[in-house]
Chain A
Amino acid sequence: MTTRRKYAVIVFLCLLAIFVLLAAPFVGMKITPLSAIYDPVGSGKEAEIFWMIRVPRVCISFLAGAALAISGMAFQALFMNALATPFTLGVASGASLGAALYIRFGLPAVLLGLSGIAVSAFVGAILSVLLVYGLSRLRGGFSTATMLLAGVAVSFFFSSINLFTQYLSDFTQTFRIIRWLMGGLEVVGYGTVLNLLPFAAVGSLIVLYLTHELNLLTTGEEMAASRGVDVLFVRRILFFGTSLMVGGVVAVCGPIGFVGLMSPHICRLIIGADHRVLTPATLLFGGIFLTVCDTFARTVIAPAEIPVGVISALLGGPFFLWLLVRRSEGTVL
């Protein structure tokens, strides 16, 4: 694909993102008439639903989708592994354990003005990140192989504690834990959006800043080092930047599957593997994808909702299989 066409794809994704961001809040159980948003006082309830529920929700889904997609892309490059996801290093299981413990022990609903369950999940995510980092450091250096193993081990460990917590919980608690694990984007007002924004922005900027380095890491660490990349530094800053971002997202939305795995792959198929264009494309695509999924999730069986994690995984599962079958022998990513 020529450079010109790659930029055309990015411009198209930008326009699509704007369209989706503008259109999605109008879609719901009832289509909000345009008049409602101009005349908030006159149309009362409809305007309130639009401004306080749908708009923040669309913002959250776009932010979360973009953040997960870009982290997935960074991890795939970092580990030179097509199956890496933002959750590969145990962030999701840490957050899930935090949420499960919170529900089991019925901690206060609001902590420091933030949603208690989100704070608890975030603490779990940070703990898992630090644990993985500590374990990787133990065995000298900070190699990606050790990191992967540590991530998987921490994931399993936290998941088993999570299961044990569920086993000890009553029916209502177990239901709430499982419901949380499916992921959801129910928010009211802009507090959550503003909490998530700094994580998503800082993490995305770090990844956007390191696009040359990501390209070189894809060709192998030795190659990257010989081209002048400070591999240890880049790996560390990517690890912490994206983990914090993912931790923030998971704390708010739960472990939403597959956005982080699929979006980078789809974009790579469309636009190629050059991270200088792949990164913005993946960011936009992830945001668009999750927003569209969530719009489906809250309209298909309205007034009830399908958890967005279920929808994105339903779309993601078959794609994942297709990817496995299609992947040509020996090709990395």
Chain B
Amino acid sequence: MKIVYEVNGLSCDIDGRKILRDVSFTVGEGEYLSVIGPNGAGKTTLIKCMGRIMRGGTGTIKILGRPLAEYSSRELAKRVSYVPQADGRLFPFTVSEFVLMGRYPYLSPFTAVGPGDRKAAEKALETVGMGEFSHRPLNTLSGGERQKVFIAAALVQEAGIMLLDEPTTFLDPRHSGDIMGILYRLNRGSGATIVSVTHDINNAALYGHRVIALREGSVAYDGSPGGIMDSEVLSRVFGKEFLFTEHPQTGKRIVVPEAI
């Protein structure tokens, strides 16, 4: 498998606090990597460093064999797209205006958005099932619809790698299921490489090829989704005991909440 991401000895401090300590791993082309871990473990910082949303930190990150620092902002945006954590901020744009902004790396100043760009935006909205919403203002959408639009906006960048920060947090089961379905199809169907931070251990294991667990800024687990469903591993990561059961369709182990 071709290596698309190579993270080597990444450490990162924010205001004197160590967020990431010596994190190393690789991501292969077409891989779906889930990153889990307790609050404050450094998941968001990791994904921001990977997408150079946040600068600073020591260690090296290489994308397709080339150091991250050598990429210009536009070049990077053609390789890697990023879907941020939903923060409830609303923008004064319509869905299609917002999605079209994702074409930025392909535009030069003063050039109008062309028919090719419009087509790409339409296609991206179709992919996430939001084709009929293109003229709606963003601030009239529900949280789930909004998240789909954000994924479409990342898709129009036509980057092979997609980084997502908690794409399903705050969503109802239906929208959450929709989002996971979209990501699954993008990955297994279109061959996109996906790195997704999540709090949902079951989603991480059910959809990912591989799971990385962070604890206090270090990699506590890096391996198969099956291997994470182990009470010793999970209690080491989260500092809490877990109950397991079998998935009724696949027979894979999943965690269930305890009854009180």
Give the Cβ gap from B1 to chain A, nearest Cβ, in Å.
25
Q: Which residues of A contact B92 (CB under 8 A)?
A: 218, 268, 272-273, 331-333
| Residues of B contacting A328 in the complex (Cβ-Cβ under 8 angstroms) | 139
Given contacts A228-B77, A331-B139, contact A222 B109 (CB under 8 A): no
A225 touches B73 (CB 8 A): yes
A230 engages B89 (CB within 8 Å): no
Mask of B26-70 contacts with A, CB within 8 angstroms, 1/0: 000000000000000000000010011100000000000000000
Chain B nearest CB: distance from A227 CB in Å?
A: 5
What chain B residues lie within 8 Å of A273 (beta carbons)? Answer: 91-93
State which of B96-104, B216-224, B242-250 sits at the interface with chain A: B96-104
Which of B80-88, B183-191, B201-209, B227-235 contacts its partner? B80-88
Whether A209 touches B104, Cβ cut-off 8 Å, given contacts A219-B91, A268-B92, is no
Contact yes or no, A332 B91, CB < 8 A: yes
A222:B84 contact, CB within 8 angstroms: yes
Tell me which residues across on chain A come within 8 A of B97, comparing CB atoms: 215, 272, 274
A3 CB → nearest B CB, Å: 10
- B76 CB–A CB distance under 8 Å: yes
A216 part of interface (Cβ distance < 8 Å): yes
Count residues of A near B (Cβ-Cβ below 8 Å).
27
**What string of 1s and 0s marks CB contacts (under 8 Å) between A283-297 and chain B?**
000000000000000
Residue contact B89 to A332, C-beta cutoff 8 Å: yes
**Selected contact of B89 from candidates A211, A228, A274, A330, CB within 8 Å:** A330
Q: Is the interface of B mostly helix, strand, loop or mixed?
A: mixed
CB <8 Å contact, B81 and A219: no
Could you give, for residues 225-240 of chain A, a 1 whenever the CB lies within 8 Å of some chain B CB and a 0 otherwise? 1111110000000000
**A218 B91 Cβ-Cβ under 8 A:** yes
Q: Complex formed: what's the CA distance from A328 to B137 in Å?
A: 14
Question: Residue A220 at the B interface, CB < 8 A?
Answer: yes
Counting CB contacts under 8 A, is A223 at the interface? yes
CB-based contact B84/A274 at 8 Å: no
Q: How far is the CA of A273 from the CA of B104 in the complex (A)?
A: 17
Q: Do residues B104 and A228 form an inter-chain contact, with CB atoms below 8 A?
A: yes
Taking a contact as CB atoms under 8 Å apart, the answer to whether B98 and A331 are in contact is no
Residues of A within 8 A of B75 (CB): 228
Residues A228 and B109 in contact, CB atoms below 8 Å apart? no
Are B109 and A331 touching (Cβ within 8 A)? no
Q: Does B157 contact A (CB under 8 A)?
A: yes
Q: Are A228 and B139 in contact (CB under 8 A)?
A: no
Residue in chain A with minimal CB distance to B87: A220
Q: Are the C-beta atoms of B90 and A227 separated by less than 8 Å?
A: no
Which chain A residues lie closer than 8 Å to B104 at the CB level? Answer: 212, 216, 227-229
Interface residue A153 (Cβ < 8 Å from any Cβ of B)? no
CA distance A225 to B157 in the complex (A): 13
A210 at the interface (CB under 8 A from B): yes
- The answer, yes or no, to whether B78 is at the interface (CB within 8 Å) is yes
A223 to B98, CA, bound (A): 11
A228 touches B101 (CB 8 A): no
In the assembled complex, the CB of A167 is this many whole angstroms from the nearest CB of chain B, namely: 42
Residue pairs across A and B with Cβ atoms less than 8 A apart, 26 shown, are: A212-B109, A216-B104, A218-B92, A219-B91, A219-B101, A220-B89, A222-B84, A223-B84, A225-B73, A226-B51, A226-B80, A226-B81, A226-B154, A227-B102, A227-B104, A228-B73, A228-B105, A228-B157, A229-B73, A229-B104, A273-B91, A273-B93, A276-B112, A330-B88, A331-B139, A332-B91
- B-side residues, CB < 8 A to A, are 48, 51-53, 72-78, 80-82, 84, 88-93, 97-98, 101-102, 104-105, 107, 109-110, 112, 139, 154, 157
